[in-house]
Amino acid sequence: MNKILFRQIWNERRSNAWIWLELLLVSVVLWFVVDTSYVTLNTYFEPRGFDISNTYWIRVGTMTPKSPDYIDPSTRNVKAGSDILELLKRLRHFPDVEAVSLSYNSFPYNGSWSGTYAKIDTMGEECRIYKVSPDFLRVFRYHGSNGETPEKLATLLKEGVLIVGENLLTAKYGLKGKDIAGRSVYLSADTTKVWPVVAVTKPVRFNDFVSTYDCRYVMQIYSEASAVNLTENDVRFLELCIRTRPDCPPGFIDRLRNASRSQFTIGNLLFEDVRSLDDIRCMLQLDDMNKLRDQMWGIGFLLFNIFLGLLGTFWFRTQQRRSEMALHVSCGSTRREVFARLIIEGLLLLVSATIIALFIDANIAYAEFIPQMNGSFLTVGRFLITTFITFVLMSLMIVIGIWFPARQAMKIQPAEALREE
Amino acid sequence: MIKQYFKQALYQLHAQPLLSAISVLGTALAICLIMVIVLMQQIKTEPYAPESNRNRMLHVKWMTCYQKGSNIDNSSNGPMSAQTARQCFRALATPEAVTIYTIEHTMQANIPKGKEFSVDMKQTDEQFFKVFDLSFVDGKPFDEASSEAGLPVAVINESVARALYGLTAVIGRQINLNHAPFKICGVVHDVSTLANNAYAQVWIPYKSTDIGGMSWYNDVMGTFRVSILAHSKDDFPAIRKECERLRLKYNEGLAEQEIAYRNQPDTQEVSVIHKWANATPDLNAECNKRFLIYALLLLIPAINLSSMTQSRLRKRITEIGIRRSFGSTRGDIMWQVLFENLILTFLSGLIGLIFCYAFALIFGPSLFASSTLSLLNSSPSVDIMMLMHFSTFGYALLFCLLMNLLSSGIPAWKASRVSITDALSNH
């Protein structure tokens, strides 16, 4: 039977050519989109290394001399920095607040960043540098590689030491967390100062769309005491982050805002903006999410076209081959066999197109037109997975597309069809 | 003859309802998707109020700053300071107007003893209202004297006016911004966030606050951007030249740093893809990518349709034979097939375009949203005037023609090549 089927496909090569060409083209394009989405989703679902549930960011602003409440700094004997410390103290006593931290360019989903170059012996790597007060580790729940709790990590972060992610030197040198714990690090080009690593944390990602492989950081303390001397201009660069207790009722931002006038107007400080980290995450990643959305639409479009193409082609074909199918039935084929024959015919077309498509796919991957995943373009595992997904998606569409014409064909009354002939 | 083609095309639609439905659906879907992509692009680059002059605009979003003697790879990147903006761009003589404005940020607004709420701010100068054509409901923009003196005056939009006082006739009344009183001098129609250079809810003179103090690297980098309005597009090279001259002069005056622009000022088209401060966008690569997507969106459905057109023609092979034997030339046959298909394509294209507009208007806010609009207090609004451009319809027409040519070109050619005897005896 298969031999006949092959011959039949060959004999119909003229009308099959169109559908075959479409299958080939769609297979390649679909694989590309599937592969790109696969890399993105793979990254998206990696562990993030922090927890932003119940966290908020406050941007502190300062009043100007135009405000009636403004106090001329020269008439005061404390600076804006000590106002910040007072603010921290009051925030810590605010209902439902669990932890409050100060930092520079450090919170997750941050649009700005500071970079440095960290070196152990001769092994160096570009990375981000986080300057944070110890409570930052509690606000964003960083966890140590050896099971240290965020609270434990917070006590370890002191002047002159570093906390680093365990993957700091993994991508380039293959070093694991235990290889760098306790070692000394040089930062930037400064070879006079050594920074001992007091703790190693699980990898921490910058956001959901940058993979662990590309996310390296070192963390220094920004001690609250050192904030005392900040001027009004300086405090506006600080990030103030808050974690509320898990049982905190909704509406925290509103409660904080309502209290801001009475409880948090200290010196010339005011809250310019309060946002939940969930909001910040949504907004920073909007472009990436849109891209993912567009890719999903692309996949949908391609598959729908396959469906339409198969539906159209086989609709014609079953009409043209009525007598042939009637003959099959009258020679003892069951109706189910007629149905299966048509489906198999479609799938065989797909298989033959896929063989060529695989060759093209591999070349596209080899030419590095696809996104990198963990530092490489072409890995056997990824290639097999994404081509398999592509094949399954297309088979599904072929089966659905042929389903209706094939159902039609099953209902043939051999006597009638043959009499027409 | 053309009437005949119309009749035949309509008859064909009837004769094969399923195939017609598939063709129409396939074409409509493709045109709809392509046009959605076109709209997504056009909303960022085509002019509409209050950015009606996008064609004549240049933007400088980012600045690059590095130690003298070092290079651009070891640099700090971000918005510029007011000082840099004034000396390098406001000082330009060639353009019609140059405006300085802050990056998006928020302030707390209220009326005396009223509840505070967040508003999106642009701190800018009087030129802003020349570069962008905000439409005033009441009052007028602040003038150069108020801007330079940093007087506490504010232009606000209707929504903020209503939130403060419940009405829009609020000229001369007070608005507190971060606890400081400002006098309202103008009320404008709300601006969509999609016009993101002009967008804000409240506009005040940048010298009226201490925002100028948010600067670093000896007052080179800060929180400002610049938009330049040229007299005409042809002035762009001259403006670029003058920018370069001012940059070199400015660099000479700096003790420790040097600045560079990474190919800026950008045209509107480049500016929208200039997302990151430390990179120069590649417009060509972006265009190629877009063309590839258009090509695929046309080609894949076209293969489908070709196959169907050909099947349909095979059924009409005797008709073609008869036409040929009565003197039709090959060209006539080809023209007939193409024209019949064109009617079908236009019909589907129209359906696709209607779908596309419906889609854009209903899902616009999420469809057109992007990260550049992040941390704003209002979501993007879309109105039909922002989407209606001659070029949009031009594109739609072009894509329909291409689609038609792709989907019926080969079948039409093949049909016209069949010899008369074969065609007549085939049945």
Mean pLDDT, residues A377-395 taken together: 91
- pLDDT at residue number B187: 94
Measured CA to CA, the distance from residue A230 to residue B388 in angstroms comes to 52
CB B191 within 8 A of CB B200: yes
CB B152 within 8 A of CB B183: yes
Measured CA to CA, the distance from residue B41 to residue B83 in angstroms comes to 34
Mean pLDDT, residues B120-126 taken together: 93
Choose the closest CB to A312 out of B19, B152, B213: B19
**Spacing of C-alpha B25 from chain mean position:** 28
Tell me whether residues B310 and A283 touch, CB distance under 8 A.
no
A-chain residues near B33 (CB < 8 A): 297, 301
* 195-214 in chain A: CB under 8 A from chain B: none
Measured CA to CA, the distance from residue B110 to residue B153 in angstroms comes to 15
CB B98 within 8 A of CB B89: yes
Measured CA to CA, the distance from residue A173 to residue A311 in angstroms comes to 54
Joined together, the tokens standing for residue A72 give 């001329």
Neighbours of B71 (CB within 10 A): 10
**pLDDT tens digits along A114-124:** 888 888 888 88
Name the band, by pLDDT with cuts 50, 70 and 90, for residue B376: low
Task: Name which of A72, A107, A397 is nearest A278 in CA terms.
Answer: A107
Joined together, the tokens standing for residue B103 give 């990056």
Question: Does residue A65 have a cis bond before it (omega within 30 degrees)?
Answer: no
A11 contact B CB<8A: no
Hey, what's the torsion of the CAs at A175, A176, A178, A184, to 10 degrees? 40
Instruction: For A272, list phi and psi in degrees, rounded to 5.
Output: -85, -30
Mean pLDDT, residues B97-119 taken together: 88
pLDDT at B128 over 90: yes
Q: How many residues does chain B have?
A: 427
- Percentage with pLDDT > 90 across chain B: 33
Name the band, by pLDDT with cuts 50, 70 and 90, for residue B373: low
Residue A316 burial (C-beta neighbours within 10 Å; 0-12, 13-18, 19+): buried
Distance from CA of B139 to the nearest CA of A (A): 23
Q: Which residue of B has its CA nearest to A299?
A: B297
Name the band, by pLDDT with cuts 50, 70 and 90, for residue A97: very high
User: Partners of B285 in the beta sheet?
Assistant: none
pTM: 0.86
Tell me whether residues B107 and A272 touch, CB distance under 8 A.
yes
Q: How many residues does chain A have?
A: 421
For chain A, what is the mean pLDDT? Answer: 87
Measured CA to CA, the distance from residue A239 to residue A56 in angstroms comes to 10
**Spacing of C-alpha A400 from chain mean position:** 32
- pLDDT at residue number B386: 76
Choose the closest CB to B179 out of A233, A270, A284: A270
pLDDT at B60 over 90: yes
User: Partners of A217 in the beta sheet?
Assistant: A128
Choose the closest CB to A313 out of B116, B213, B307: B307
- pLDDT at residue number B348: 87
CB A19 within 8 A of CB A313: yes
Instruction: For A55, list phi and psi in degrees, rounded to 5.
Output: -120, 155
Mean pLDDT, residues B56-79 taken together: 87
Mean pLDDT, residues B274-285 taken together: 85
> How open is the CA angle A31-A36-A38, to the nearest 5 degrees?
90
B116 contact A CB<8A: yes
Name the band, by pLDDT with cuts 50, 70 and 90, for residue A390: very high
pLDDT at B417 over 90: no
Measured CA to CA, the distance from residue A7 to residue B14 in angstroms comes to 35
Q: Which residue of B has its CA nearest to A115?
A: B76
Choose the closest CB to B303 out of A25, A275, A311: A25
Q: Which residues contact B15 (CB under 8 A, 6 or more apart)?
A: none
* 292-331 in chain A: CB under 8 A from chain B: 297, 301-302, 304-305, 308-309, 311-313, 315-316
* Strand, coil or helix: B15: helix
- pLDDT at residue number B414: 80
Task: Name which of B114, B210, B226, B131 is nearest B170 in CA terms.
Answer: B114
pLDDT at B98 over 60: yes
**pLDDT tens digits along B203-248:** 999 999 988 888 888 889 999 999 999 999 999 999 999 999 999 9
* Least confident among A126-135, B70-79, B266-275: B70-79
Mean pLDDT, residues B327-354 taken together: 85
Measured CA to CA, the distance from residue A12 to residue B317 in angstroms comes to 18
Tell me whether residues B303 and A304 touch, CB distance under 8 A.
no
Task: Name which of B200, B191, B207 is nearest B121 in CA terms.
Answer: B200
SS3 content of chain B, % helix, strand, coil (to 5): 55, 20, 30
* Least confident among A399-413, B200-214, B276-290: A399-413
Tell me whether residues B178 and A305 touch, CB distance under 8 A.
no
pLDDT at A262 over 70: yes
User: Partners of B108 in the beta sheet?
Assistant: B118
ipTM: 0.82
Measured CA to CA, the distance from residue A188 to residue A124 in angstroms comes to 10
Q: Provide the strand spans (E) within A70-193.
A: 97-104, 115-120, 123-132, 162-165, 184-187
- pLDDT at residue number B377: 66
pLDDT at B374 over 60: no
User: Of A150-159, A172-181, A258-267, B69-78, which one has max mean pLDDT?
Assistant: A150-159
Residue B330 burial (C-beta neighbours within 10 Å; 0-12, 13-18, 19+): middle
- pLDDT at residue number A164: 92
**pLDDT tens digits along A159-197:** 889 999 998 888 888 888 888 888 888 988 788 888 999
Q: What single-letter amino acid sits at A208?
A: D
Joined together, the tokens standing for residue B63 give 């600045």
Distance from CA of A301 to the nearest CA of B (A): 8
Mean pLDDT, residues A288-299 taken together: 90
Q: Which residues contact A183 (CB under 8 A, 6 or more apart)?
A: A120, A196, A197
Place of tokens 């591999």: A362
